[in-house]
Structure formats: C-alpha cells, structure tokens
C-alpha cells in the first residue's frame, strides 16, 4: 500500500488528527505564554517589560478567539460540539475544554483587558465621533465612573485577576498537554512530562511572539524600540527556553535509557519520517540555534543593532521550532502503528476542510484580529501615539 | 396561565422536536431480552483459524461497513525461529479475500482474527468527551452515532486499532458484537460464518455457556494485557509475538 511501510492495523492507515490539531496547541500555547509575559509586569513588578504589557494581553486575546476554530473545523459534527457543555463526560480529559476555554476567555482575559482599558475606553467614548464613538460607548458597558476610587478598584481587581490568571494560563495549556499525555495507548504521547513540557514550550512561544510583534510594530510605527524592554524579554525567553529544552531532553534520555517495547519503533521513526521536522527543524534550527543566539547576547556585549537582529532572528526561529514541536507531537504520534511493526504517511490536503489553505488562514486570522484590536485599543505607552493621548488631551 | 391558540401552534413543533430528541437515545426494543442477565465476550481459538476471511466479509455485509474500514479483520503472522520478537505481519484488505500463499517457509505462520475487545475498563469510553461511547449493562462497548461529535479521541485511545470514523456518518464506529442480533438470541455474523468454529460468542453470565468449560481446560490470553483494559475477547493458543 502506498505510504505504508511494514504492518499497520488496517484502521490506522488514515491519520485521525490533521494539521488543524497541530495548530490548536500552537495557538493556545501562544495565548498562555503571552499572558505569562503580561503577568511579569503586573504581578512580579518587572517594570522593564511594561511596553509589552498591553500588547501581550491583546495578542493573547487574538489567538484565544481563534483557538477553538481548528477544533470546530476538525469535528465530524461541529453542530454537536455544544453537547460538551450540556453533557460533559467527567472521565474525559477533553470534556473540560469548553469550560477551561470559557473561564480563561471571559473570567480572565476579557475581564483583565476591560479593567485595564476601562479608563481609556471611557475617555475615547467621549472624545471620538461617528462609529468609533458607538463602539467605545458599547465597550464601556455603562460604566463611566473615572473617580480615583473607581480607578483604584480597577487596579486592585485587575491585579487579582492576573494572579488568578497565572494558574489559569498553566491550566489552559497544561490541560492541552494532558489530553495527549494521558493516552496510554500511544507511547509517543503517554508521559507525565507532557503537560509540563507543554506549559514551558507555551511560555517560550508566547514570549517570543510578543517580542517579535513588539519589535515589528514599533518599527512599522517609526518609533524607537525600548532596548531595556526587549533585553529583559529576551533574557526571560532564554531562561524559559533552557528549562523547556532541559525537560524535553530529560524525556528523551529517559526514553533512550528505558528502551521499552516501543523504543525501537519510535527511534526508527525519528531517524526517518520525522528526521526533518524533529531533528533538523525542531531541535537544531528551532531550539539549539535560538538558545545559542540568545545565550550569546547574555555573555557578549553587542551593539544595539546586533541585539535587535539577533532577537528578531531568535524569536522567529523559536516560533518555527515550537510549531515543529506541536507538529511532531500530533502528527508524529500517529505515524507509527500501535503494533510497533509499521509506519504510515501524513498526506495533507491543500484546499480541503482540514488542508493547508485553511491552516494558513487560521494562522493569519489572529494577526488580523490583533491588528483590529491594536487600532481600537492602542497598547502603546509612549506619549503622542495612537488615539488615546490625543483623546486625553481633548479630555 | 392560559395558553392561547397561537402559543399552542408555536409549542407543538418544539415539543415534537424535543420528543424526537428523547427518542433518539432509545435502543431498539427486544422484549424478551434482559440486559442484566448477560455479560458478553468472545472466545477465539487460534489454532482453528484458517484465514478464510469469511468473518470479515460477513461483518461487512451485516453491518454495512464501508470499504477500507474494518470492524473485524484477520492478520497473518510469520514468526522466524531466530527472531521471535520481530514477526512479519500482513493483512491484505483486512484478510477479507483470504491470503496469498506465504513466502517464507521456515518458522511458523498463523492467523489472528481481531475485533473490538469490549474492554471492561475501555480507554475509548473513558476519553469520549460527551459519553457517546459507553459500556452497556451487558458488557458491550457501543457508540451512539446520534450523539458522537466525531472528535476522534476514542480512535486515538484504543490500543488495538479497532475504531475508525465512518465516512458516511462522520462518527466513530467499531464492532458492536452484532448487538442487534445477540439481543434477539442470535450469534454474531462473524461467529455464524466461521467455518471452523474458531470464533465463539460467549455469555460469561450464563452458567450453561460452553465458555466456562473451555476456560477451565485451556490456557487463554487477552491482547496487550499490560494495557489493563480488562479485555473480554479471549484468545486460546495466542503466541507471544502477537501485538
């Protein structure tokens, strides 16, 4: 049979989870990571990263809004997905997705963004005209009180939500890791390290995404990049990446040393069908190279321009590497037979419901949403930028 | 509160839709069948299997299984004397049309019919996010296709590769142990069509079922016992190389 080597159980030849299921953990990882970066400023008082605080929150929201779409498109019966809320099966790791998602979206992210922007929204609802005014008036939700006491309450509640948000971000993505890690039938997935690796890889991807977006947006606005900020963000990225890589290596060493019944099969897969995406893209290009580049900036005194270029390159490579990691987990976990006697091939469609085109659209869509959000709620802290300083002046 | 004619006209279609939804979960009736009196499994006496593929064909005809997908299939193992841990296995079209002559002469060749193991602790049931997959009170793992989302988590969770997504219904499908037959006192299509009696439906709660005598006098094994799924398809004469 074409695409099949050795023996697969006959029902295994067709892969069940496609590139869309690769996108799902990639998108939720960016959400969780971006939020953790935002919490650095809010909870841990790392003032240097303040310029990225609001951008990180808006980035998290943009990606979170798109995160369920690949799942919906993948379901055989998307019209029944609401049953997960009505009759969740308590023993299923997947059943909690809806609740975790709604909790994170409504109780954490939207609420925190609204509280943080409330003052700006009220000011903008009075200073703008036309359709913008109507949008801002709706966004105030009827709360126009800008007294010092009201703003102090916003600040306190916002802080509390961020504190709750940190374990929620861990829950959001650790839970995604558990969906894979708890499948005992699949030795490629079944490891208690999976949720922890997912959390740290999420932090890595989220921090890298916000760092690259901040640099790109600041450059496109013709402003100067706050080097103290990106130096700090890059340092956190470096530390988190080292933890993430160590965990992945721990998993690898453990597998090699134990060499259980699945090892020969998985080892063969990594050296053949997954060689390019796992060894070359994920480990060499997407992990070791950015760690080395970021490490270089920590030990060698480089010029500002050199650091900017290194951060941009390392950030992009990191995102490619984390996407490859999701690919290798999801697709790699389905390429070998549970009989450990054979391998199949993933054939991605181009213009099908779960094909490449849809995957590209779903990757670009959060960036479009982010562009709209940034226009509507400018996250910039410099004076005379975006809508708000003008509005404040008018006020 | 009084209901006007207009309200009634609006309510009636809604009630009809709701009632249809309630009835959708009602199983086909079998008046003389009491679920609590049965506990179904299957016995497969491997030395008797000749790899004819009758069981696969019967299953596909009985259950309208789409081409390329299998509720049951037959594997042929070739185990070399020198490398018992690396058997060579084939199952052309699930063994539906039998097997071509074996290439290797040394070592041993034998057939292994496979089907859903109707596990007591079934991983597929555990992971279903809405409970569309369930274990019936008489021990059969079933899928409610009116309720299944088609998320495919159960397919990933089955250690035996017994599940697939039916392209006609976009829902999970697998062996039902011919539930529509066994609740009417019949045996499964695969057992009925096995020319050598290698497959035997077993009711573990029925003291008169021959399975009890067989289990007393033979060594049996289940597939992948390390998965601790409490499988109820028992294999007699199972070679250690079978996965």
Domain chopping of chain B, boundaries: 37-236
Which helix (H) or strand (E) covers residue A7, if one does? none
For residues B59 and B74, give the distance between their C-alpha atoms in angstroms, rounded to a whole number: 12
pLDDT tens track, chain A, 395 positions: 788 999 999 999 999 999 999 999 999 999 999 999 999 989 998 999 999 999 999 999 999 999 999 999 999 999 999 999 999 999 999 999 889 999 999 889 999 999 999 999 999 999 999 999 999 999 999 999 999 999 999 999 999 999 999 999 899 889 999 999 999 999 999 999 999 999 999 999 999 999 999 999 999 999 999 999 999 999 999 999 999 999 999 999 999 999 999 999 999 999 999 999 999 999 999 999 999 999 999 999 999 999 999 999 999 999 999 999 999 999 999 999 999 999 999 999 999 999 999 999 999 999 999 999 999 999 987 655 555 544 444 33
Q: pLDDT tens-digit profile of A283-323?
A: 999 999 999 999 999 999 999 999 999 999 999 999 999 99
Interface contact flag, B128 A88, Cβ < 8 Å: no
The neighbour count for residue A124, using CB atoms within 10 Å, is 27
pLDDT digits (tens, 9 = 90+) for A166-199: 999 899 889 999 999 999 999 999 999 999 999 9
Task: Give the HSE-up count for residue B73: Cα atoms under 13 Å, Cβ half-sphere.
Answer: 27
> Which strands make up the sheet holding B220-221, listed edge to edge?
B199-203, B40-45, B233-236, B220-221
> Does the beta-carbon distance from A92 to B126 stay under 8 Å?
yes
Q: Which residue of A has its CA nearest to B89?
A: A7
Plot region of B94 (φ>0 → left; ψ -120 to 50 → alpha; else → beta):
left
**In 3D, which of A32, A327, A328, A68 has the Cα closest to residue A207?**
A32
Q: Which residues of B lie closer than 8 Å to A, measured between beta carbons?
A: 68-70, 73, 75, 87-91, 93-94, 114, 123, 125-131, 147-153, 155-165, 169-171, 227, 243
**Hey, how many other C-beta atoms are within 10 angstroms of the C-beta on B27?**
12
Residue among A188, A147, A161 at smallest CA distance from A325? A188
Distance to chain A for B128, nearest Cα, Å: 6
Match 């925190």 to its residue by tokens.
A112
Please tell me the distance from the alpha carbon of residue B37 to that of residue A345, in angstroms, as a whole number: 46
The CA distance from A106 to A115, in Å, is 12
Collapsing DSSP to helix, strand or coil, A29 comes out as: helix
Query: How distant, in Å, are the alpha carbons of A114, A349, B211 from that of A379?
Result: 13, 38, 72
Q: At what angle do helices A356-376 and A19-42 cross, to 10 degrees?
A: 20
Q: Is A76–B150 a contact, with Cβ atoms under 8 angstroms apart?
A: yes
Tokens of A68: 């369920």
**Which residues of chain B neighbour A339 with C-beta distances below 8 Å?**
89, 161, 243
Nearest to A340 among B73, B150, B243 (CB): B243
Give the model's pLDDT for residue B222. Answer: 98
In a mutational test of the B interface, the residue from A77, A182, A264, A265 whose CB has the highest number of chain B CBs within 10 Å is A77
Domain B37-236: CATH architecture, name and number where available: 2-Layer Sandwich (3.30)
- Chain B residues in contact with A84 by the CB 8 A cut-off are 129-130, 149
Flag if B131 and A87 touch (Cβ within 8 Å): yes
| DSSP, residue by residue, A317-330 | HHHHHHHHHHHHHH
Distance CA B222, CA B238 (A): 8
Query: What does DSSP assign to residue A284?
Result: I
Task: Using CA coordinates, name the residue in chain B closest to A333.
Answer: B156
Question: How big is chain B by its Cα radius of gyration, in Å?
Answer: 21
Question: Judging by DSSP bridges, how do beta strands B40-45 and B233-236 pair with one another?
Answer: parallel
**DSSP-derived secondary structure letter, B27:** P
């Amino acid at each position: 049979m074409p695409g099949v080597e050795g023996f697969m159980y006959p029902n295994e030849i067709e892969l069940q989870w496609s590139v869309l299921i690769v996108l799902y953990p990639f998108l939720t990882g960016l959400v969780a990571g971006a939020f953790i970066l935002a919490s650095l400023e809010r909870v841990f008082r790392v003032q240097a990263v303040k310029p990225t605080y609001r951008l990180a929150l808006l980035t998290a929201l943009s990606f979170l809004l798109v995160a369920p779409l690949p799942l919906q498109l993948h379901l055989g019966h998307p019209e029944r997905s609401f049953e997960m809320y009505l009759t969740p099966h308590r023993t299923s790791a997947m059943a909690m997705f809806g609740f975790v998602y709604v909790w994170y979206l409504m109780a954490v992210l939207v609420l925190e963004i609204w509280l943080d922007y409330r003052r700006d929204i009220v000011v903008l609802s009075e200073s703008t005209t036309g359709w913008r005014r109507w949008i801002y008036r709706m966004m105030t939700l009827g709360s126009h009180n800008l007294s010092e006491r009201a703003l102090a309450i916003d600040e306190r509640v916002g802080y509390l939500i961020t504190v709750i948000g940190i374990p929620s971000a861990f829950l959001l993505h650790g839970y995604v890791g558990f969906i894979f890690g708890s499948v005992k039938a699949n030795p490629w997935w079944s490891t208690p390290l999976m949720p922890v690796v997912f959390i740290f890889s999420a932090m890595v991807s989220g921090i890298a995404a916000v760092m690259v977006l901040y640099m790109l947006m600041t450059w496109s606005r013709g402003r100067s990049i706050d080097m103290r900020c990106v130096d700090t963000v890059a340092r956190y990225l470096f530390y988190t990446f080292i933890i993430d890589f160590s965990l992945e290596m721990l998993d690898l060493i453990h597998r090699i040393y134990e060499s259980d019944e699945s090892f020969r099969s998985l080892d063969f897969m990594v050296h053949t069908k997954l060689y390019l995406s796992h060894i070359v893209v994920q480990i060499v290009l997407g992990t070791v190279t950015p760690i080395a580049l970021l490490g270089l900036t920590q030990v060698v005194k480089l010029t500002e321009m050199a650091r900017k270029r290194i951060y941009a390159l390392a950030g992009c490579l990191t995102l490619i590497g984390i996407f490859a990691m999701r690919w290798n987990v999801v697709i790699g976990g389905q390429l070998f037979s549970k009989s450990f006697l054979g391998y199949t091939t993933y054939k991605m469609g181009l213009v099908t419901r779960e094909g490449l085109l849809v995957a590209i659209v779903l990757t670009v869509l959060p960036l479009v949403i982010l562009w709209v959000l940034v226009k509507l709620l400018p996250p910039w802290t410099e004076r005379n930028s975006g809508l708000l300083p003008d509005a404040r002046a008018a006020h | 509160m009084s209901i006007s004619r207009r309200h009634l006209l609006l309510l009636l279609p809604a009630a009809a839709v709701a009632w249809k939804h309630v009835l959708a979960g009602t199983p086909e009736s079998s008046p003389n069948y009491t679920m609590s009196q049965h506990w179904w499994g299957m016995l497969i006496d491997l030395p008797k299997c000749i790899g004819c593929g009758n069981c696969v064909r019967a299953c596909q005809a009985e259950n309208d299984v789409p081409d390329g997908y299998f509720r049951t299939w037959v594997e042929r193992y070739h185990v070399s004397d020198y490398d018992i841990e690396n058997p060579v296995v084939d199952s052309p079209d699930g063994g539906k049309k039998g097997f071509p002559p074996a290439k290797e002469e040394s070592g041993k060749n034998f057939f292994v019919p496979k089907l859903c193991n109707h596990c007591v602790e079934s991983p597929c049931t555990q992971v279903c996010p809405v409970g569309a997959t369930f274990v019936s009170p008489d021990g059969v793992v079933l899928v409610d296709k009116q309720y299944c989302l088609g998320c495919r988590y159960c397919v990933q969770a089955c250690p035996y590769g017994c599940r697939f997504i039916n392209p006609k219904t976009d829902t999970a499908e697998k062996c039902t142990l011919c539930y529509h037959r066994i609740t009417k006192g019949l045996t499964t299509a695969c057992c009925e069509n096995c020319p050598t009696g290698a497959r035997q439906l077993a009711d573990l709660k029925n003291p008169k079922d021959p399975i009890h005598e067989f289990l007393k006098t033979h060594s049996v094994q289940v597939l992948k016992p390390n998965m601790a799924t409490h499988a109820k398809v028992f294999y007699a004469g199972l070679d250690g190389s079978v996965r």
